[in-house]
């Protein structure tokens, strides 16, 4: 049974009359998480995990028609039974499980397998057909534990207290994970935040995620040299007018892309920390195997590489998502 179709508006479930992370406005959207490339404005109604409600309303509008659901709560949309299951990506991120005539399909959305103190851990969801992401689907991507990266960041930051330390990271998910990872290794010192990071961090604090103390850097006098302070900011702030207040800061970027030789130099950062909110190569393969899926479709990033490996090495019936008819 073909539960999902690949359309110009995204993945469509005819039985539920709903699209998953639609590319364009549609009457009914099932949202895996609140990142802008997955949650777009203009849809008639949105269904998502309740933990993501704050960020979704902040980004899409307070008055969107949103149906917040708990993890693993089953609900019916027409002839499809739907439920959301943790993806371990960011706060409120989910895999979408669809059951139609006893056929189970799962769309992972973005996910990661390594422990993260800022969000629910990834849940294996058994299924007949799995649609998995492949953002970092190359063997060179092999993540270290987050706590180890947090120790590296602590040593970098506290190793030079004569100037500010600007750590660039994505404003939603990565920044809050860093605040939580630093808390987990015993850091108690206050961290300063760019305004874009602060607005999202409030939702994590409302969800009682344990993090180090923080406040907006804008609350401090512009005459404060901020020597020895750690400041988290989005990549868009790098080399912007916002940086003019910092005197000769040391800079770094936290991202899975820092695993690629030369990426730090090309982006103009002095230091790179390899920390990703996506699954690494081993985690992707393990997820496919543990799902028990008889058929796998691969989307995003290195989809051809992962599909070929699964088919030729693991003997799994796998194809790039473009082949989903």
Confidence (pLDDT) at 265: 66
192, 252: one domain:
yes
- Whether 269 contacts 168, CB under 8 Å: yes
Long-range contacts of 56-62 (CB under 8 A, 24+ apart): 56/31, 58/199, 58/200, 58/203, 59/34
Q: Of 137, 125, 174, 190, nearest to 309 (Cα)?
A: 137
263, 243: one domain:
yes
Q: Of 95, 152, 182, 125, nearest to 273 (Cα)?
A: 152
- Whether 303 contacts 319, CB under 8 Å: no
12, 130: one domain:
yes
Confidence (pLDDT) at 264: 64
Confidence (pLDDT) at 312: 97
The whole domain housing 61 covers: 5-140+278-323
Which residues have a Cβ under 8 Å from the Cβ of 93 and sit 6 or more positions away? 32, 33, 49, 52, 86, 87, 109, 110, 111, 119
pLDDT along the chain (325 residues), means of 10: 91 97 97 96 98 97 98 98 98 98 97 97 98 96 97 97 96 98 98 98 98 97 94 94 91 94 74 97 98 96 94 96 66
233, 152: one domain:
yes
- Whether 98 contacts 269, CB under 8 Å: no
122, 156: one domain:
no
Confidence (pLDDT) at 261: 74
89, 165: one domain:
no
96, 160: one domain:
no
117, 182: one domain:
no
Q: Output the CA–CA distances (angstroms, integers) from residue 287 to 125, 131, 283, in the order listed.
A: 9, 11, 6
73, 124: one domain:
yes
Q: Of 123, 198, 184, nearest to 149 (Cα)?
A: 184
55, 161: one domain:
no
Which residues have a Cβ under 8 Å from the Cβ of 194 and sit 6 or more positions away? 171, 216, 217, 231, 232, 233, 234, 237, 242
Which residues have a Cβ under 8 Å from the Cβ of 19 and sit 6 or more positions away? 7, 9, 10, 11, 12, 13, 26, 28, 29, 30
């Amino acid at each position: 049974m073909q539960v999902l179709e690949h359309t110009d508006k995204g993945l469509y479930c005819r039985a539920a009359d709903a699209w998953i992370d639609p590319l364009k406005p549609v009457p009914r959207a099932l949202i895996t998480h609140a990142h802008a490339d997955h949650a777009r404005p203009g849809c008639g109604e949105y269904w998502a995990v309740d933990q993501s409600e704050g960020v979704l309303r902040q980004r899409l509008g307070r008055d969107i028609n949103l149906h917040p659901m708990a993890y693993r709560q089953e609900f019916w949309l027409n002839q499809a039974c739907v439920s959301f299951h943790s993806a371990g990506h960011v706060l409120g991120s989910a895999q979408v499980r669809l059951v139609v005539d006893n056929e189970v399909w799962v769309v992972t959305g973005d996910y990661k397998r390594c422990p993260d103190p800022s969000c629910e851990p990834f849940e294996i969801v058994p299924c007949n057909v799995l649609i998995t992401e492949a953002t970092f689907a190359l063997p060179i991507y092999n993540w270290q534990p987050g706590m180890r990266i947090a120790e590296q960041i602590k040593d970098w930051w506290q190793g030079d207290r004569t100037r500010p330390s600007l750590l660039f990271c994505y404003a939603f998910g990565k920044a809050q994970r860093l605040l939580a990872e630093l808390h987990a290794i015993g850091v108690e010192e206050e961290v300063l935040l760019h305004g874009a990071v602060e607005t999202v961090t409030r939702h994590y604090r409302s969800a009682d995620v344990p993090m180090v103390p923080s406040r907006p850097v804008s609350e401090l006098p512009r005459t404060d040299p901020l020597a020895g302070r750690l400041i988290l900011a989005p990549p868009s702030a790098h080399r912007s007018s916002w940086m003019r207040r910092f005197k000769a800061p040391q800079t770094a970027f936290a991202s899975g892309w820092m695993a690629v030789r030369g990426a730090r130099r090309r982006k103009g950062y002095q230091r790179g920390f390899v920390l990703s909110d996506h699954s690494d190569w081993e985690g992707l393969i393990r997820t496919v195997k543990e799902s028990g899926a008889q058929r796998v479709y691969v989307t995003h990033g290195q989809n051809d590489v992962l599909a070929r490996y699964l088919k030729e090495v693991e003997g799994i019936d796998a194809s790039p998502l473009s082949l989903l008819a």
